[in-house]
Amino acid sequence: METKQLKEVFAKRFGEAAEALYASPGRVNLIGEHTDYNGGFVLPGAIDKGITLAVKANGTDTVRLFSVDYDEECSFGMNEADKPEKNWARYVFGVVREIVKRGKTVGGFDAAFYGDVPLGAGLSSSAALESAFAFALNDMFGLGVDRFELARIGQATEHNYVGVKCGIMDQFASVFGKKGNLIRLDCRSLEYEYVPFDPAPAGYRVVLIDSCVKHELVNNPYNRRRESCEAAAAAIRRRHPEVEFLRDATFDMLAEVKDEISAEDHDRAEFVIGEVQRLLDACHALVKGDYETVGHKMYETHDGLSRLYEVSCEELDFLNGCAKKYGVTGSRIMGGGFGGCTINLVPEARYEAFIDGTLADYKARFNILPKVYDVVVSDGARRVE
């Protein structure tokens, strides 16, 4: 859909013209997986897919929403008791509530919106939705909330109105995204720095391959990973009190406690310590425009996620194998694992062969046609018109 059509939809639905249009994107994370809860870094970037909304204050204390993609309407008041039934509307309700909880006054409004972030594929369509509305309401009602707090509002929406206990990365990337840059975010201090990322002129593309599987998880493997990391960090801390998280640890420190922790905990910690370093190495390489080194690091990350952290699966390892087979520069699992997408840094000249070959190979092996999402690192939350 184009913005022109969105304006038409708005006018038809609400009987008058929209006041303004806003947009906020989904995100990718180039490298830095399972590092957030270890106090380490992540390296996300906003993408050229997001939520676009048309909005106008309506002078009441009611919100009226229209989701173009679901072809559904929903209205609600702004008190805690007004929580809507529809899942998609809860993201907007949560944003409104979190703003109100911060002592700001939001009036009623009408809004129509659509999106092109694939849902549930690991590109954070939900953060795009939250950030688009948080940014729009802040701007429209002149609330004076800074960008950082807008990201917090989105995160709190997930926690309090959706029931997802996520970190800050997704909303942060959606709000702070900048064309031609990734964001190196320190998950402990929340300090951030832009890192140049403009692969196209250097002859590379970023493409996600969606395995289209999501394996049922038993015994909450994510919690077990966290416990392993905490156990390893605690063992190291007994000798090195300055180690708060694994982010602060070195391979030498890990070697010292080898006999004091389980082999499993050791493997998990080895991955995390390596991953923190790989991310920093990748950032140095990006500053020099050295995409080949970045690609090596991505393959190393995949290998670690598969062998040491054990969050891969047959399908993701197969996709990683395809990337190698077709000459892709870097490829790895993006997100928690056990399904979802791989993120690939692909030389322009290999792109077609990689996509065609991978689709055919994967289909032959698993009888599923993977989905392909091309992404370009782009600007974050903004007013469009």
The interface mask with Mg ion, positions 77-116, x = CB under 5 A, is ----------------------------------------
Select from 121-129, 183-191, 229-237, 254-262 the region that touches Mg ion (CB under 5 A): 121-129
- Residue 126 as a binder of Mg ion (CB under 5 A): the answer is yes
| Least distance to ligand ADP, CB of residue 189, Å | 25
Residue tagged active-site, from 36, 110, 170, 267: 170
Burial of 361 (0-12, 13-18, 19+ CB in 10 A): middle
Q: Where are the beta strands (DSSP E) in the chain?
A: 20-29, 41-42, 44-57, 62-67, 72-77, 109-115, 181-186, 192-196, 204-214, 330-333, 339-347, 371-375, 382-383
Q: Which of 369, 357, 351, 361 is nearest to 318 (CA)?
A: 361
Residue with the CB atom nearest ligand ADP in the bound state: 115
Decide: is 342 part of the binding site for Mg ion (CB under 5 A): no
Residue 326 interaction partner, one of ligand ADP, Mg ion, none, beta carbon < 5-8 Å per kind: none
Token pair 């520069």 is at which residue? 329
Nearest approach, Cβ of residue 247 and ligand ADP (Å): 25
Instruction: Identify which range of 69-77, 119-127, 268-276, 339-347 contacts Mg ion by CB under 5 A.
Output: 119-127
Sequence-ordered list of residues with C-beta below 8 angstroms from that of 6, at least 6 positions apart, any chain = 18, 21, 52, 53, 54, 68, 112, 113, 114
Between 132 and 187, name the residue whose CB sits nearer to ligand ADP. Answer: 132
Q: Which residues bind ligand ADP (CB under 6 A)?
A: 51, 67, 69-70, 87-88, 91, 114-115, 119-120, 122-126, 129
Q: Is 331 in the site for Mg ion (CB under 5 A)?
A: no
Burial of 162 (0-12, 13-18, 19+ CB in 10 A): middle
Q: How far apart are CA 71 and CA 13, in angstroms?
A: 11
Residues in the chain, total: 385
361 included as an active-site residue: no
> With respect to ligand ADP, which residue has the nearer C-beta, 88 or 354?
88
Query: Least distance from C-beta 85 to ligand ADP, angstroms?
Result: 12
| Closer by beta carbon to Mg ion, 24 or else 126 | 126
Q: Which residue is nearest to Mg ion (CB)?
A: 126
With vertex at residue 49, the alpha carbon angle to CA 45 and CA 51, rounded to the nearest 5 degrees, is 110
Instruction: Identify whether the C-beta of residue 332 lies closer than 8 Å to the C-beta of residue 224.
Output: no
Nearest to 40, CA basis, from 283, 207, 219: 283
Joined together, the tokens standing for residue 156 give 């709190």
Q: Are 322 and 355 in contact (CB under 8 A)?
A: no
Q: How far is the CB of 166 from Mg ion (least distance, A)?
A: 7
Nearer to ligand ADP, 51 or 229 (CB): 51
Cβ distance to ligand ADP smaller for residue 97 or 266:
97
Instruction: Please identify, using beta-carbon distances, which residue of 2 and 259 lies nearer to ligand ADP.
Output: 2
Of residues 190-219, those binding Mg ion (CB under 5 A): none
State the residues that interact with Mg ion by CB under 5 A: 126
